[in-house]
Structure 1
Amino acid sequence: MKTFQLSLISIAMLTATSVSAVELNGSSLTQDDAWAIAEGAPVSIAPEAMDRVKKSYELVLEAAKSGKEIYGLTVGVGLNKDHKVISANGELSEEVKAASRRFNYSTLRSHSIGAGPALDPKLVRLAMVIRLNTLLKGGSGVQPRVAELYEEFLNKGVTPVVPTKGSLGDADITLASHVGSAMIGEWKVINKDGKQVASMEVLKEKGIKPLVPEGKDALGILSNSSVAMAMTMDAAKAVRQILKVTPIVYGISLEGLNGNVAPFLPQTVDFHQFPGLAEKASELRKVLAGSYLWDKDESRRLQDPLCFRTTVYTLSEAQNALNDLDKVINVQINGSDDNP
């Protein structure tokens, strides 16, 4: 038994080390790869993508020095958008940097106000994958260290506790901010036993240096839709599974009813050239291949209840809706949703 257990452990370790890292570049993340990382696959950042992050950071610093008003950097956020936070006056002095850090810490603390039970850790990891990839577009102006921390958190299994109730939509500001609070060591994370522990304790254990936020770091971490997109991808995944099993359930139900196959015959659906209808009709026919429903039965009803007659149309429209959703998701997880 011990030998068998050791063999299983060895196989697991070999499998873990043989998995190649998914490289993120800000523009080619697939939903499958995002899920793979969320479920434990290692992640890496493409060099050219990290270079964009560095250049965007340098750009906003130069703009700040020149006296330009920059949302979340030289001026406040929300109602404070017209109030100066720092005045660089051509130089980013230590005094100016200290003021920026105070503002960033305050922003993360004041926005980390989510409530309710904790979000599924896998969805939190998925949200971090999405945000890391969108950061790599180079539109956020955050320190490169922020991108590095997302990468470290994912690769070292550090999962912040993110509540389920807060703002969703234009920006998940009261939810995504908890990731930033964990990065600065002032919040909670899920440890390997599934318990909530102080983030600083885990950062020390994993050898991760906490973030010292400045510039646009806080805004870059909290002002995005990564949590909402993780939830959307989870919903899309559930719908995909439903569409996969529904033809089988329908086929079994139709057999139990001794129902009519006429609604999804080729000669029937050919009269309705709706997108995807022919494909779903073909799928239903394949599910019922070899069924007695294809045999003539004088006792069979001429027409089944409406819910059975229209199933092929419902399935095709549901598939079309999922296809449209997938297109939007693929754009969103590969685009910058930073405040311009």
Structure 2
Amino acid sequence: MTTDITLDGTTLTCEQVRVVARGRARVALGSTAAAQAAWEAASRLQGPVYGRTTGVGANKDVALPEQGLGLLRSHAGGAGPLVDDERARAMLVVRLNQLLRGGSGADPGLLPALADTINGGFTPPVRLYGAIGTGDLTALATAALCLAGEIPWRRAPWSPPEEPSFPVSGSDALPFISANAMTLGDAALACAQLRPLLDASIGVAAQSWRAVDASGEPLEQPVQDARRHPGQARVATRLRRLLVPGPSSPRLQDPYGYRALPQVHGAAFDALDTAEHAVTTDMNSAAENPLIAGGRAWHNGNFHTAPVALALDGLRAALVQTASLSTARLATLMEPAYTGLVPFLAERPGASGALILEYVAYDALATLRHLAAPVTLGGAVLSRSVEDHAGFGTQAARACLAAREPYEIVLACELVAAVRARRQRGIAIEPPLDVLDGRLEDRSLEADIEAARAALPSLAADQPKPSR
């Protein structure tokens, strides 16, 4: 780890979460004044305060002198496999940033302990299942019990011998766990991982564009000026730069995989911007219940993940649309009417060539469609009907994380075919795509697909490519 990212409760980005979660940066604490003020205000409160002097959920009307650690112990029971260290660390980063924003009333002594946890490579053993978008209770309770010394941390190979600890009190229990830090951590990782893939999808499409001499007319400025969606204009501008000099096509109009690409991919970029905005807003908010502000406790529903869940549902649907266009372009690459080559880009007529790429791509696309099912259509009634709705942002974030692999595979299949077609047409292949196998005989294309997946990041860069 070579750099420090300062957390201040207001400026954390999805990309910063990804960098720290992967162990490529440390965190540093900004001002703790807001957290200190909320803690001091909470200690002076009189009367019932949810989760501090009462039970939680349906027990909200049961008076308790103090919750004690029983709340953490009872809520730490998740299920399923352990999430990987990257996701667990992302959760800790998000929760630390939220606590710095103020409003929870948790002991500010937690803040340096959490920073030491992140920087030391320690993560809590968080189970996959246990949240529905109304608070990541099981995951955060597990982290709190690790700090309290009741559950051992998982450690990285470079972790120091001494485990981080803090004497978590009963009054810190609900203030620490009443948040969606695991959901937001997953969502931040997903947004940070999907943006370069969406960028790469334009580079992949440019390869296909050249392979079939698709028309550049749908990209021209008058077309974009007539329909002013920002994502569409951004995609068309980038493709024009990648295709300099502009292609001349023998066809009056190309299939939608080319002609409607700015509209479809542009909508996906707009959806990603919307999702990233929703996630970033919540990571830098004091979405606490109760909120300690202005010298009192405000009981509220700011923990609800509806904005994030709806945005992530839209993002996954948009990804499916772009992947569908990728398979459509893949079909044109198999068709002599568009390439002027042997069917399936084979070495000779009757051979299978690259035929299997379509099967692989459609399998991945089917998985992507399955992951795009909207979670926001679901509902839940819990805790003796007191908690009668759920946002399911947790599931939306998980699905976005899972979408990365099938989306990569769809793009990789198109890229393998596009490079193969360009080679057969005698068009020079620029580095790093020139490392893709140029053999045309019938053979397994597994290595080709993996090589293309590895090359995708290079296509995210906005650099024009010569045509020949």
* TM-score grouping bracket, smaller chain normalisation: 0.7 to 0.9
Corresponding letter in the other structure for 1:255 = R
- Distance, in Å, in 2 between the alignment partners of 1:142 and 1:234 is 26
> Which residue matches 1:26?
9
**Given the alignment of the two structures, is residue 42 of structure 1 paired with residue 37 of structure 2, yes or no?**
no
One of 180, 183, 187 as aligned partner of 2:144: 180
> Which residue matches 2:49?
70
Corresponding letter in the other structure for 2:139 = L
- Distance, in Å, in 2 between the alignment partners of 1:269 and 1:21 is 41
- Distance, in Å, in 1 between the alignment partners of 2:263 and 2:96 is 39
> Which residue matches 2:222?
267
Report which stretch shifted further, 221-230 or 260-269.
260-269
> Which residue matches 1:140?
104
Preserved CA contact (<8 Å) 2:14 2:191 = no
Q: CA RMSD in A?
A: 2.1
Change (3 A) 1:180 1:207: closer
**How far is the alpha carbon of 1:58 from its aligned partner?**
2.1
3-state DSSP class of the match of 2:279?
A: helix
**How far is the alpha carbon of 1:209 from its aligned partner?**
3.5
Preserved CA contact (<8 Å) 1:169 1:225 = yes
Corresponding letter in the other structure for 1:330 = T
Corresponding letter in the other structure for 2:243 = L
**Given the alignment of the two structures, is residue 214 of structure 1 paired with residue 197 of structure 2, yes or no?**
no
- Distance, in Å, in 1 between the alignment partners of 2:107 and 2:166 is 13
Preserved CA contact (<8 Å) 2:147 2:164 = no
> Which residue matches 2:59?
80
**How far is the alpha carbon of 1:247 from its aligned partner?**
1.0
Q: Deviations over 1:107-155 (max 9, x none)?
A: 1111112111221211211111111111112211111222222112112
Identity of aligned residues (%): 28
Preserved CA contact (<8 Å) 1:74 1:85 = yes
Corresponding letter in the other structure for 1:294 = P
- Distance, in Å, in 1 between the alignment partners of 2:58 and 2:105 is 21
**How far is the alpha carbon of 1:271 from its aligned partner?**
2.1
- Distance, in Å, in 2 between the alignment partners of 1:234 and 1:240 is 10
Q: Deviations over 1:162-221 (max 9, x none)?
A: 112121312111222211121122224322249xxxxxxx99x31534433221x11122
Q: Deviations over 1:31-76 (max 9, x none)?
A: 3333333233222222xx323322222222211xx3x101111111
Q: Deviations over 1:210-264 (max 9, x none)?
A: 433221x111221101111111112212320221111111111222223222211
> Which residue matches 2:39?
57
Corresponding letter in the other structure for 2:260 = T
- Distance, in Å, in 1 between the alignment partners of 2:29 and 2:123 is 19
Preserved CA contact (<8 Å) 1:179 1:221 = no
- Distance, in Å, in 2 between the alignment partners of 1:322 and 1:108 is 35
- Distance, in Å, in 2 between the alignment partners of 1:105 and 1:85 is 13
- Distance, in Å, in 1 between the alignment partners of 2:10 and 2:53 is 29
3-state DSSP class of the match of 2:80?
A: strand
Preserved CA contact (<8 Å) 1:160 1:178 = yes
Mapping for residues 1-340 of structure 1, pairs under 5 Å: 16=1, 19-40=2-23, 41-46=25-30, 49-63=31-45, 66=46, 68-86=47-65, 100=66, 103-193=67-157, 205-206=161-162, 208-215=164-171, 217-290=172-245, 294-295=247-248, 300-340=250-290
- Distance, in Å, in 2 between the alignment partners of 1:279 and 1:56 is 43
Preserved CA contact (<8 Å) 1:52 1:137 = yes
Q: Deviations over 1:57-114 (max 9, x none)?
A: 2222211xx3x1011111111111100111xxxxxxxxxxxxx3xx331111111121
- Distance, in Å, in 2 between the alignment partners of 1:294 and 1:260 is 6
Preserved CA contact (<8 Å) 1:141 1:220 = yes
3-state DSSP class of the match of 1:104?
A: coil
Change (3 A) 1:307 1:138: same
Query: 4+ runs of 1 displaced by more than 6 Å?
Result: none
TM-score w.r.t. length of structure 2:
0.58
> Which residue matches 1:4?
none
- Distance, in Å, in 2 between the alignment partners of 1:320 and 1:263 is 19
Preserved CA contact (<8 Å) 1:248 1:287 = yes
Corresponding letter in the other structure for 2:11 = S
Matched residue count:
289
- Distance, in Å, in 1 between the alignment partners of 2:165 and 2:222 is 66
- Distance, in Å, in 1 between the alignment partners of 2:226 and 2:156 is 57
- Which stretches in structure 1 are left out of the alignment for 5+ residues? 1-15, 87-99, 195-201
